[in-house]
Amino acid sequence: MTVAELSTRLRNRLAPLGQGEARAIERIIFEDIAMMRPVDVVVNPDRELPPFIAPKVDAVVNRLLAGEPLQYILGHARFCGLDLEVTPDVLIPRPETEELVDVIVSRYAQHPDLRIIDLGTGSGAIAIALARALRFPIVTAVDISENALDVARRNAAAHRVKIDFVHADMLTMSPDRDYDIVVSNPPYVLDSERSAMETAVVDHEPHTALFVPDADPMKFYNATLRNFSGRTGAIYFEINPLCADRFKGAEIIRDIHGKNRFAIYDPA
């Protein structure tokens, strides 16, 4: 099978997902399975592909059309220019969370040796991105899931950053030191929002990292503010835009889509 033939086959099978989504997935599949950049696909349409490529691609597409997220199928996701392992034990990192990292880096790029703690680290995405982008930070990452911490440890090792991983419940943990920055992207999707979410997310991503009761949407935020009161310089949250008005006294920042996405408590 040639590159052009596989490309046509992919687009036909992925057509139900929409043209834009199909093209994006095609690019990722060619890069990940055929080791071909988009320019290679365009320049070498008549290249014969090894016989094992088409069956591997078909297997990925079958799982994708059955509703499984592409990142879990391939076993990795991109975040802040990093390639991170992801499994169903961790959330797939989102572009909005990259924006949270960008906000912190833009404000602290010139500050060395910051003590940072990432609560609910999951894959370690935020902690690793900050460890790489800032000047010699001392980073701690916390999660209640040992399986998630295993993924995060592998990601930290792969990107050669030193992070202290801690197995703890962010609702009840008591910090034993002061921190310059607390950062958290905790569960914040309301239970009532499930019905409007993509099936791939609800069926495959860990619910404990996604959802909070409608009756207590601030449970993780209030616990963090309570537990770290007097022990931190600044607190950076990713938030549910539906609950932005609950963050009294915080600086609220909109994401690239214009939604109230980040709440910052910084007494400085």
pLDDT tens digit sequence for 53-93:
999 999 999 999 999 999 999 999 999 999 999 999 999 99
Query: Tokens in use for 259?
Result: 């939604």
| Region 142-161 average pLDDT | 98
What CA–CA distance (Å, rounded) separates 203 from 29? 22
Tokens, residue 232: 């931190």
Q: Is the pTM higher than 0.95? A: no
268 pLDDT more than 80: no
Residue 20 clears pLDDT 90, i.e. is over it: no
CA 112 to the chain's CA centroid? 25
Q: Give buried/exposed letters for 178-197 (b at 16+ CB in 10 A, else e).
A: ebbbbbbbbbbbeeebeeee
Average confidence score pLDDT of the chain: 95
Question: Which is nearest to 47 in space by CA: 65, 56, 33, 34?
Answer: 34
